[in-house]
Amino acid sequence: MHTDAVHQTQFVLLNESTTPVLSRLSYHCAEPFAVTVAFRTERGRWIEWTFARDLLVTGLEEPAGLGDVRIRPDLSADPAMLTLEIESPDGYASFELEREDIESFLESSYELVPLGTESESFDIDGLIEEISNV
């Protein structure tokens, strides 16, 4: 069976809370440069953020990201954890993610589109058509 997407669900800690939040990481071959992280709200809705897969790759070893999404290994006292920071005009949130979960997710995404070969899977004509029809 061939698949064109990877999804991984896990619980994460929000802003040092003791109550875990359900989250989901997604990767789709149709968007080979991007990953999406979603967080389930108290009302059952999902809040999604899409950003570069490279941000997760770099964030495993050093602080990465300059904008609305940042990931870093050095904010957590536990080396098995990573900190994902998300900021918008509506607020700021900090999540603790297990390094092993991120590594496993990335390895699964590499099986679909190996790191460094994203441009070979990117449908630029499809993107142009999509934005031209707006």
Q: How far apart are the first and last CA of the chain?
A: 35
Report the pLDDT value the prediction gives residue 123, as an integer from 0 to 100. 60
**pLDDT tens for each residue of 21-51:** 889 999 998 899 999 999 888 788 898 999 9
Q: How confident is the model at residue 67 (pLDDT cuts 50, 70, 90)?
A: confident
Length of the chain in terms of residues written: 134
Reported as type and span, the H/E element at residue 56 is: helix 53-59
Asked whether 39 and 88 are in contact (CB, 8 A), the reply is no
Token pair listed for 49: 């953020």
Compare 124 and 71 and report the one with higher pLDDT.
71
Average pLDDT over residues 8-24: 79
On the 0-12 / 13-18 / 19+ scale of CB atoms within 10 A, 119 is exposed
Asked whether 109 and 121 are in contact (CB, 8 A), the reply is no
**pLDDT tens for each residue of 89-129:** 888 888 888 899 999 999 999 999 988 777 776 666 665 67
Is the pLDDT score of 13 beyond 60? yes
